């Protein structure tokens, strides 16, 4: 099936940014005096909005400490951390091919902030790839489906003509909540078994498999 609208998650789906997110969150938790976080703990919350991620990572954290953690995470991610980030191999060429289809539109639904997404769009020159985007700080965080509903309304696409692509259960569950088709990718953070619980139409194990399926 050729979808009219393909909505992508960002981190762990299009961009290989998970190692940087993990190292920044671990550093921030120590500086906020919360304590050490394992890589698995941080990977589990990737995809959520930052406040929701901190609430899940640090149950019972006090508001001032949570604010300190947010501030230190932002500092590390933007200015202090040098862990490389790049698109997964093949993403740019495959997106360009999709963009060549007149009747197909592309969008992003991400746990990033608008400021963070705008920054990465500018750094990579990828903002023009997408017809619309939603971030967790301007609507509801995943797995609530509000960002998907807003994208459908903005682009005037019926839900049955759209598909959500992501590497976490949060991506797939927000799509399932409104009856949208969904595709999981296993090269991000959540396991194939965990993704399968959301009954995706397809599970791809690498970028080429994903886009071969999307190209139809």
Beta bridge partners of 7: 107, 164
Q: What is the CATH number of the domain that holds 170?
A: 3.40.50.1000
Which residue ranges in the chain fall short of pLDDT 70?
Answer: 1, 80-81, 84
Domain that holds residue 133: 5-16+86-215
Which pLDDT does position 216 carry in this prediction? Answer: 77
What integer pLDDT is reported at residue 127 of this predicted model? 94
Q: What is the pLDDT of residue 204?
A: 98
Helix and strand counts by DSSP (H, E) for the chain: 10, 6
Q: Residue 29: how many CB atoms within 10 A of its CB?
A: 24
Provide the whole-model pTM: 0.94
Residues 31, 37, 41, 47: what is their CA dihedral angle, to the nearest 10 degrees? 10
Q: Tell me how many domains the chain contains.
A: 2
| Same domain? 108 vs 187 | yes
Same domain, 10 and 41: no
């Amino acid at each position: 099936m050729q979808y009219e609208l393909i909505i992508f998650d960002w981190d762990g789906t299009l961009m290989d940014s998970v190692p940087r997110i993990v190292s920044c969150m671990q550093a921030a938790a120590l500086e906020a005096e919360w304590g050490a976080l394992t890589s698995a703990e941080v990977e589990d919350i990737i995809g959520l909005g930052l406040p929701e991620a901190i609430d899940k990572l640090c149950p019972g954290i006090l508001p001032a400490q949570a604010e300190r953690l947010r501030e230190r995470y932002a500092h590390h991610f933007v200015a202090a951390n040098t862990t490389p980030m790049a698109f997964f191999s093949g993403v740019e060429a495959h997106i360009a091919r999709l963009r060549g289809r007149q009747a197909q539109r592309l969008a992003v639904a991400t746990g990033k902030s608008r400021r963070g997404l705008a920054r990465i769009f500018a750094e990579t020159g990828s903002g023009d790839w997408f017809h619309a985007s939603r971030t967790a700080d301007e609507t509801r965080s995943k797995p609530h489906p509000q960002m998907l509903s807003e994208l459908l309304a903005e682009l005037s696409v019926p839900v049955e003509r759209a598909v959500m692509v992501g590497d976490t259960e949060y991506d797939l569950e927000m799509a399932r909540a409104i009856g949208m088709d969904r595709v999981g990718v296993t090269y991000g953070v959540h396991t194939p078994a965990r993704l399968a619980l959301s009954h995706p139409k397809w599970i791809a194990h690498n970028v080429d498999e994903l886009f071969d399926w999307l190209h139809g």
